[in-house]
Chain A
Amino acid sequence: MLPRPVARPSEGLETLPLINLVFLLLVFFLLAGSIRAPEALEVSPPTLDADAERQAEDATVLQLAADGRMAWGNELLPPERLDDWLRGRLAAGDVALSLRADAGADARETIALLHRLRAAGLEQVRLEVRTGSEPP
């Protein structure tokens, strides 16, 4: 006759440590992350190894992709609409603007774009960068 099976101590899957961990992760992402609206273009700005000034959360950012397309937020800006858009921003009180140009965008055309923005009335332009040792 087979011996009676020994009742295994119920392992009682340790859920409490798991929940603690998940809560910690949740709080981390709540505090460290910032929720942003999706953007129209995939742009990776130039990377610098030095520190630079932190950009305000609510800065007006003009995105410029490597292929020359431009966007503001989730909205593509065809070149012919750029001046109208800029006038609208200036009327709304934005005198400074951040240009998020792709690291692969053409520098000569970007300089020309900056001059065009200034000619349209923009006073201050900043170039958005990433800092740290990320691969370019």
Chain B
Amino acid sequence: MIPYRARPVRRVPLTALVDVVFILLFFFMLASSLDDPRHIPVALAGAGAASDARAATGLRLEPGQVNLGGAILADADALARLSASPPAEIVLDAVAGVDMQRLADWLQRLDRLGIEARLGSAP
């Protein structure tokens, strides 16, 4: 008969495991980014035969106001005018001193109104 010998209970050394897991955790916390980049398509004026920059309405962004086809308006007034009679296409331009946040806001507003915005060529 084979004598039965009780094996000694071996405890798993947890400390080393936890050390490694902590190191992995710190690595992934620091090296990974949780942000979720999105993008919006941008059309440029003068691209393609269909667009004629001269025929389209012009919207020039200025700090604090806009120039809509020659009329200087506040943002809200220009938006009201555009939603009352939306043109099919707008050439969007900006003067110096306007930042990208403002341009992106206007791209979004025009997109919501169903107006195709094309970025004009800055001279």
- Using a CB–CB distance below 8 Å, which chain A residues touch chain B? 15, 18-19, 22-23, 25-26, 29-30, 32-36, 45-48, 50-55, 59, 98-112, 114-115, 118, 124-131, 136
- Residues of chain B having any CB pair with chain A under 8 Å: 14, 17-18, 21-22, 24-25, 28-29, 31-42, 44, 46-47, 61, 93-105, 107-108, 112, 119-122
30 pairs, A vs B, C-beta closer than 8 Å: A19-B14, A19-B21, A22-B21, A25-B29, A29-B28, A35-B32, A45-B100, A46-B103, A47-B101, A50-B108, A52-B38, A52-B39, A53-B38, A55-B37, A55-B39, A103-B104, A105-B100, A106-B97, A107-B99, A108-B94, A108-B98, A109-B122, A111-B103, A115-B46, A115-B119, A115-B122, A125-B41, A126-B39, A127-B39, A127-B104
Chief secondary structure at chain A's binding surface? mixed
B39 x A129 contact (CB < 8 A): yes
Given A50-B108, A127-B107, A131-B38, A111 contacting B120 (CB threshold 8 A): yes
A128 and B37 CA atoms in complex are apart in Å by 7
Closest A residue to B60 by beta carbon equals A108
Q: In angstroms, how far is the closest chain B Cβ from the Cβ of A25?
A: 6
Query: Shortest beta-carbon distance, B109 to chain A, in Å?
Result: 10
Q: B60 to chain A: closest CB distance in Å?
A: 10
Q: Could you tell me if A30 and B28 are in contact, using CB atoms closer than 8 angstroms?
A: yes
Decide yes or no: A107 and B100 within 8 Å by CB, A29-B32, A131-B38 being known contacts.
yes
- Contacting pair A111 B121 (CB below 8 A): yes
Q: Which chain B residues border A98 with CB–CB below 8 Å?
A: 37, 39
When C-beta atoms are compared, the residue in chain B nearest to A47 turns out to be B101
B105 touches A36 (CB 8 A): no
Q: How far is the CB of A59 from chain B (nearest CB, A)?
A: 8
Neighbour of B40 across the interface among A22, A53, A107, A136, CB < 8 A: A53
**Contacts known (A126-B42, A130-B35); A108 close to B25, Cβ less than 8 A:** no
Across the interface, which residues of B come within 8 angstroms of A15, CB to CB?
14, 18
| A48 close to B37 (CB less than 8 A) | no
> Which A residues are CB-close (under 8 A) to B36?
54, 131
